Amino acid sequence: MAAQQPTVFSPITFSKYSNRVLLKTLLDTTDGGLSFVGQKLVVGGWVKSSKEVIRDAPPAPAPADSLPPKLNKDVSCIEIIQSRIPIVRSLLKMLYGNNLHGGEKLDTPVHKPPLPSTAFLAINDGSCVASLQVVVESSLHHPTHLLPTGTCILVEGVLKQVPVPGKHVVRLEVEKILHVGKVEQEKYPLSQKKLPMDFLRKFSYFRPRTTTVASVTRIRSALTFANHTFFQNNSFLYVQLPTITTTDSEGFSEKFHVTTLAGKGKRVESTEDKEPDGLSLETVKAAITEKSNLVKELERSESNREALVAAVQDLKKTNELALQLEAREKSKSKSRKDKVIPGNFLPQETYLTVSGQLHLETYACALGNVYSCGPRFRADKIESAKHAAEMWMVEVEIAFAELKDAMNCADDLVKFLSKWVLEHCMDDMKFVQKRIDKTSIHRLESIISCSFEKVSYTAAIEILEKATDQKSQHLKKLKFGAALTADHLSYLADTIFKKPVIVYNYPKETKPFNVRLNDDGKTVAAFDVVLPKGGVVISGSQKEERLDVLMTRMKEMGLPREQYEWYLEIQRHGTVKHSGFSLAFDRFVLFTTGLTDIKDVIPFPRSFGKVIN
């Protein structure tokens, strides 16, 4: 007789630091985990759904003899009758209520042991989309503690094949309960099903337990790794940049001030910070425009010379006021730069960084190709589905590179990230396609295979001006010099070209001071990458390496030279042509997942007037 062959199990990997098996190891296999059947495992996770199946109670043992049991001598006749004849018991209850014989209770409640049952739990540990069915007998643990959604369990058992395969192919039959994290079901916000995303934002500390946010988080994690992989594979060095800075990298953004003095006494408002008569420079400039138009009209009519003289004098006084306000602004900027703030942790006025691009340039001019990832902060008081006060950016700077080089790098990066997600997050993308956006996978595939359309700003304006379809009717017609809005750019990618578009050579007034001025003197070497249904995800430029041109641009924009003196130093000493870009990482995650609000792809979003946790 041949000897019985021992059972051979497929080797299974335990988590190195928690001595359990990740569900991804079991379920993300071609056979759904069947190759691991028969092995004893420890798994943990949170209950996603559950049900309890009651088993029939075992029959009571037969009496030793058929004789009726002896009656207690203290039992009354009426108690015997009511115990034997149910109708008598009912009549007595109607006549006397629940008490007879001076308040003695007729019925003594009998606490019967709960019927045996089996709890079927679908648990998920966050490592993958799929859940594992876990079977727990009531003899091991009371089912009411296990069934509520959100309950955390750690259990040991044997993996078995499901008798009737359906949603689950394998299940864990539990032999030992190692941990139970109970849930107060009435207070737990995720007890309900199909909660809207805006509701979940109120509970950012719980929402990663939902399948949608868990999938988004895994995709976000994969994209983070993909970013580093792309740049490391292409010989870029990773540089950490400061979050606190004294410099506004763009020259026209709202910033968060950093101080340790808030709340430490009454703040005294300096009279120097107040505009005379409550006027602002913007208000005065608007008045100059109106008064200039009035002077032109009076000059053309030549009918009222006295009114013309008065208007000219008024315009002159307004111009003088504007010059005073401009001088005050420059003086304030200089004094803020130089002024020591007593008692503050940092002596100068400092801000949360809007962009790390200027600092990154200093490393590009020494090390060649560099990149950085980190949070960037804008105190813009706007409500937008594609903007948050704190957003993560991937910033890149390439030495010895011109505009076209940066554009090519941005093109390659977008395609690399799209391909990476499809190769490493397909299960999550299938969930996204099923529950969020049916076109999500196709959209990424088309990004990988197509060539990006490159169009200049001037050509884009002409295209938009000639557009006559229905979608273009709500778009404002633009003239050269006007900034392209998000709607204009999305129209180009979604409707005109139906693929990614790179718009380049913008008017100099619409871009930061350090973008290289083109030979026409009107445009600068800047570009935006616009994705269908994603909008602008990358903005980049070639930087101005000519010191004299850079200083002229700063003067035109009214920027205090003292604040940027350190930046001018790298242009004075050993400068080089260099180009780069910033990838709005959160917006790319939004594009990948097909969600509509950026606050749903940021773990803990901060927006105007809203901070949770």
Across the range 334-338, mean pLDDT stands at 51
**3-state DSSP call for residue 262?**
coil
Model confidence pLDDT, tens digit, residues 4-40: 555 556 778 888 888 899 999 999 999 999 999 999 9
Angle at CA of residue 445, ends 443 and 451, nearest 5°: 95
**Tokens, residue 492:** 């180009």
**Tokens, residue 372:** 């950085």
- Tokens 């985990």 label which residue? 33
User: What is the rounded end-to-end Cα distance, in angstroms, of the chain?
Assistant: 69
Q: Which of 398, 396, 394 is nearest to 373 (CA)?
A: 394
pLDDT at residue 110 above 60? no
d(CA 206, CA 456): 46
* Superfamily per CATH, domain 211-253+349-451+546-611: Bira Bifunctional Protein; Domain 2 (3.30.930.10)
Question: Across all residues in the chain, what is the average pLDDT?
Answer: 85
pLDDT above 70: percentage of residues in the chain: 80
CB 355, CB 250: distance < 8 Å: yes
pLDDT at residue 102 above 50? no
* 195 or 75, which is more confident: 195
Model confidence pLDDT, tens digit, residues 425-467: 999 999 999 999 999 999 999 999 999 999 999 999 999 999 8
pLDDT band at 470; cut points 50, 70, 90: confident
Q: So what's the pLDDT on residue 267?
A: 44
Strand order in 350-352's β-sheet? 244-245, 350-352, 257-258
d(CA 119, CA 136): 5
The answer to which of 73-87, 108-122, 141-155 has the lowest mean pLDDT is 73-87
Q: So what's the pLDDT on residue 73?
A: 47
* 330 or 105, which is more confident: 330
Q: So what's the pLDDT on residue 477?
A: 84
The DSSP-derived string for 456-513 is EHHHHHHHHHH--SGGGTTSPP--TTSPPPHHHHHHIIIIISSS-EEEEEEEGGGS-T
Beta bridge partners of 135: 120, 173
Q: Which of 538, 544, 539, 541 is nearest to 579 (CA)?
A: 541
CB 441, CB 525: distance < 8 Å: no
pLDDT at residue 41 above 70? yes
Q: Which residues, 6+ apart, have CB-to-CB distance to 373 below 8 Å?
A: 224, 227, 228, 238, 392, 393, 394, 395, 585
Q: CB 492: neighbour CB atoms within 10 A?
A: 21
Across the range 77-97, mean pLDDT stands at 55
Model confidence pLDDT, tens digit, residues 524-562: 999 999 999 999 999 999 999 999 999 999 999 888 888
pLDDT band at 165; cut points 50, 70, 90: confident
Model confidence pLDDT, tens digit, residues 272-300: 444 444 556 667 777 777 777 676 666 66
pLDDT band at 594; cut points 50, 70, 90: very high
Q: So what's the pLDDT on residue 90?
A: 59
Model confidence pLDDT, tens digit, residues 369-414: 999 999 999 988 888 898 999 999 999 999 999 999 999 999 999 9
pLDDT at residue 195 above 60? yes
pLDDT above 90: percentage of residues in the chain: 59
Q: So what's the pLDDT on residue 5?
A: 54
Give me the residue spans of the domains in the chain: 23-54+115-193, 211-253+349-451+546-611, 268-338
Across the range 496-503, mean pLDDT stands at 97
Mind spelling out the 3-state secondary structure of 138-155? CCCCCHHHCCCCCCEEEE
Q: What are phi and psi of 578, to 5 degrees?
A: -150, 150
pLDDT at residue 68 above 70? no
pLDDT at residue 331 above 90? no
* 492 or 72, which is more confident: 492
CB 178, CB 19: distance < 8 Å: no
Q: So what's the pLDDT on residue 272?
A: 43
CATH of domain 23-54+115-193: 2.40.50.140
* 307 or 168, which is more confident: 168
Q: So what's the pLDDT on residue 103?
A: 46
pLDDT at residue 145 above 60? yes
d(CA 515, CA 282): 25
Q: Which of 536, 473, 540, 529 is nearest to 503 (CA)?
A: 529
* 318 or 42, which is more confident: 42
pTM, two decimal places: 0.79
Burial category of 196 from C-beta neighbours within 10 Å (exposed 0-12, middle 13-18, buried 19 and up): exposed
The answer to which of 163-167, 178-182, 289-293, 440-444 has the lowest mean pLDDT is 289-293
